[in-house]
């Protein structure tokens, strides 16, 4: 009986660990690390699993692409920290869906998966200045905190501190304590601080987050994420 109890406990623990898996690393160039609760930081590789609760960090010159269980995807640019606060997905129980991802620094591009298609209110991205809700979306986000000196702009000056947004498909709803706006495909947005209302900006002032084609292209035939035009620099 004791052995049976131990076996059942072990199986239960294994099931819990499996349930925590949110996705896998599909593309990687450079160093990607993860910090998990009560554990030392680990280095991840292609095909490494990503779990609910993970804090992911890309080092300098590192781009990483994560595919989630619902076929949603994100590509992280260098110097990014991303926390998967919540990831609950059950293909047969849409009512249990819940995704909350915090971008603590850096930038990303993201494409909505099945969760966002079933109920867009179940997917949210959080940043220091605003929360991003999705509407069947492919979007880019860049959070500048005195660390965007290498990002090119039309003015030649570094981007202003704050959250820069661009939408390639669908729309996003950006909100904080000061206000809320919807940014549609082809539009750009900016949020200076948590106490400043989100705003749209003219295309000539917008910051578009692009990624190298080796990371942005889905060789399996799916949608590319953030591939720039020929000759365009990756932010």
Domains in the chain: ranges and CATH: 2-216 (2.60.120.1440)
pLDDT at 233: 29
Render pLDDT for 93-150 as a digit per residue (tens, 0 to 9): 999 999 999 999 999 999 999 999 999 999 999 999 999 999 888 999 999 999 998 8
* Mean model confidence pLDDT for the chain: 87
Quote the CA–CA distance of 178 and 180 in Å, as a whole number: 7
- Amino acid 132: pLDDT: 98
Q: What is the pLDDT of residues 27-75, one digit of tens each?
A: 999 999 999 987 889 999 999 999 999 999 999 999 999 999 999 999 9
Sign for the CA dihedral angle at 195, 175, 97, 210 comes to negative
Percent of the chain with pLDDT over 90: 74
Question: Is 11's pLDDT higher than 70?
Answer: no
The pLDDT, as a whole number, for residue 214 is 81
**151 or 84, which is more confident:** 84
Confidence of residue 84 (pLDDT cuts 50, 70, 90): very high
- What is the reported pTM? 0.84
pLDDT score recorded for residue 224: 55
d(CA 35, CA 114): 27
């Amino acid at each position: 009986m004791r052995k049976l109890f131990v076996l059942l406990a072990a199986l239960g623990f294994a099931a819990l660990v499996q349930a925590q898996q949110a996705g896998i690393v599909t593309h990687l160039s450079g160093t990607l690390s993860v910090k998990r609760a009560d554990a030392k930081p680990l280095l991840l590789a292609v095909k490494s699993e990503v779990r609910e609760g993970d804090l992911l960090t890309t080092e300098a010159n590192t781009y990483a692409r994560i595919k989630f269980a619902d076929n949603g995807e994100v590509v992280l640019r260098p110097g990014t920290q991303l926390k998967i606060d919540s990831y609950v997905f059950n293909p047969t129980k849409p009512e249990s869906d819940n995704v909350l991802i915090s971008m603590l620094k850096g930038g990303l591009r993201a494409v909505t998966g099945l969760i966002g298609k079933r109920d867009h209110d179940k997917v949210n991205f959080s940043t220091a200045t605003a929360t991003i809700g999705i509407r069947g979306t492919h979007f880019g986000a860049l959070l500048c905190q005195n660390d965007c000196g290498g990002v090119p702009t039309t003015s030649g000056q570094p981007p202003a501190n704050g959250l820069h947004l661009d939408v390639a498909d669908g729309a996003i709803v950006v909100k904080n304590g000061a206000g809320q706006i919807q940014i549609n495909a082809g539009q750009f947005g900016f949020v200076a601080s948590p106490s400043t209302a989100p705003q749209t900006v003219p295309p000539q002032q917008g910051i578009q987050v692009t990624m190298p084609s080796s990371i942005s292209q889905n060789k399996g035939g799916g949608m590319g994420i953030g591939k720039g035009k020929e000759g365009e620099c990756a932010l």
